[in-house]
Structure formats: C-alpha cells, structure tokens
C-alpha cells in the first residue's frame, strides 16, 4: 500500500467520523446532500461514504426520501465497549452513591475532542430536575469540569485546543484567557472546582477529578445543585464529591 493510498484512506476515515458526529449533533435523520453541506465536504465523497456506512449498518435508512441516521450497529459497539470499560461501570456506582448522600444530580464528565460532554448522569432524589443531555457537547470554558480536565495541559496546549469563540459565555461576555488559565492552575492544586453555572441562573456546579496513576484527570465527577442548596450544603457536597472521585480512582487504578 502506497503512502498516498494510506493518506487517502485516513482522510476518508476522518470524513466518515465527521458524518457520524454531525448526525449526532443535529439529532435527526438527514439526506446525504444536507450532510455534505453541513460538514463542508464534497457531495460525491459524502454519498460514497454514506453508502459504505449503510452497508456496514453504521448508518440506517429512515423513511422513503433518502434520509439516513445513526444505525443500530453503533448501539452494539457501544454495549461491547461498556462491557469491557471498567470506568463506566464503576462510575455508575459512584454517581448513585453521590445521589444517595446528597439527593442532588450527579454526573461523570469527559473531554470529547475540543469539547466537554456529560457521559453519565443520575438524577437527584428531589422534585428539582437538571436538564442536561448525555453526550451533548459544550464549550470547555463554560464548565467547572473543564478547569480540572485541562490541568495537565500547558498554557499553549490549552490555547491551541479551545476554539476562541468558546470563550464567549452565554451572556455574551468573553472569558479572558488569563482568568481561565489561572482558574485551571488553582483547580489543579485544589483537586476541586465549583462555580455558579454560566449556562443558567439557578444551579451551582461542583467538580472533582478522577485521576490515573500518573495524576492526569481522565474524567470528573460532578454535582449540579440549586444555588441555595449548594450554598447551604457546600462543605458536605465538596467532601462527598472529592471522596467519591478519589475512591473511584483507587478502584479503576488497582
């Protein structure tokens, strides 16, 4: 296999993942023509890749108008991943324990490329409900977890990773890079970060890192609570979260 062939196949693989990521973000079936426009790829390339993904059941046809969407083969691949991914199983138990001790919503969060995502969530044992979609990407600077997940990065790596537009907060204000970097460094020292959510006006977010043996945060555990409850129970929530994150790290690193 020539070097040109290898590079061409690698580019095709990148485009295939662009198709899957775009469909996940849009959340509904689309025609290949619409996918091509959405990802900025030649229509002929997208049609060829869609045909290949349909053949492998990574995509499935929807309706009679040529729409396609994520296929059931992805579900089976995901289930196979979960059966052999100790972190997901152990984190599920950790989240349930956090909920039982605090009654608040608990989450496990990860980096997903240049974004942040909620990978697992357990609803709190109260009438108040947190609206958050598992797997939905969000700008890293908008999150408490982002300060911890980037703590092992250099300043230059952080600058290169994050899209400049992601520093524009929901209220239209821009978070200064200097402020963000200072918060990352302090969070790395403290092993904890919390703040009033920038995505809404009524929740406070707590985050603690789950570290690998080298001290790198592979994920975070989080509590999302109404601001009044977070203020009244701040020390207890902080303690429960840090203890849970450290316990989870010990279990998965054994």
pLDDT tens by residue, 178-224: 999 999 999 999 999 999 988 878 899 999 999 988 899 999 999 99
Looking up tokens 């199983």 gives 89
Q: Six-digit token pair at 238? A: 């902080």
Distance CA 87, CA 198 (A): 28
Stretch 153-157: mean pLDDT: 93
First CA to last CA across the chain, in angstroms? 42
CB atoms under 10 Å from CB of 252, counted, come to 20
Q: Is the pTM of this model over 0.85?
A: no
Looking up tokens 């990065």 gives 153
Q: Beta partners for 70?
A: 59
Distance CA 246, CA 253 (A): 11
Estimate to the nearest angstrom the gap between the alpha carbon of 241 and the chain centroid: 19
Question: How buried is 236 (Cβ within 10 angstroms: 0-12 exposed, 13-18 middle, 19+ buried)?
Answer: exposed
Distance CA 129, CA 165 (A): 29
Q: Beta partners for 221?
A: 108, 208
- The residue that leads in pLDDT, 107 or 5, is 107
Report pLDDT for 7.
64
Stretch 37-51: mean pLDDT: 90
Stretch 37-56: mean pLDDT: 90
Q: Look at residue 219 and give its three-state secondary structure.
A: strand
pLDDT, mean over the chain: 88
For residue 43, give the H/E element and its range.
Answer: helix 43-55
Stretch 166-182: mean pLDDT: 94
- The residue that leads in pLDDT, 65 or 146, is 146
């Amino acid at each position: 296999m020539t070097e040109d062939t290898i590079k061409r196949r690698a580019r095709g693989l990148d485009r295939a993942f662009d198709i899957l990521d775009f469909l996940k973000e849009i959340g509904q079936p689309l025609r290949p023509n619409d996918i091509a426009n959405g990802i900025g790829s030649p229509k002929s390339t997208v049609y060829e890749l869609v045909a290949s993904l349909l053949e492998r059941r990574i995509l499935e046809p929807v309706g009679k108008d040529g729409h396609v969407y994520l296929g059931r083969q992805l579900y089976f691949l995901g289930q196979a991943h979960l059966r052999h991914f100790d972190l997901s199983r152990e984190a599920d138990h950790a989240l349930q324990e956090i909920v039982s001790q605090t009654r608040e919503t608990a989450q496990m969060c990860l980096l997903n490329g240049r974004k942040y995502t909620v990978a697992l969530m357990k609803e709190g044992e109260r009438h108040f409900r947190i609206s958050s979609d598992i797997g939905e990407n969000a700008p890293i600077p908008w999150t408490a977890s982002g300060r911890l997940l980037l703590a092992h990065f250099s300043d230059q790596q952080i600058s290169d990773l994050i899209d400049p537009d992601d520093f524009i907060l929901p209220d239209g204000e821009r978070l200064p890079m200097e402020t963000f970097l200072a918060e990352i460094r302090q969070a790395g020292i403290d092993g904890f970060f919390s703040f009033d959510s920038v995505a809404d006006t009524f929740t406070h977010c707590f985050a603690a890192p789950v570290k690998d043996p080298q001290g790198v945060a592979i994920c975070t555990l989080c509590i999302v609570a109404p601001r009044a409850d977070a203020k009244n129970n701040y020390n207890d929530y902080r303690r429960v979260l840090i203890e849970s994150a450290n316990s989870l790290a010990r279990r998965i690193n054994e």
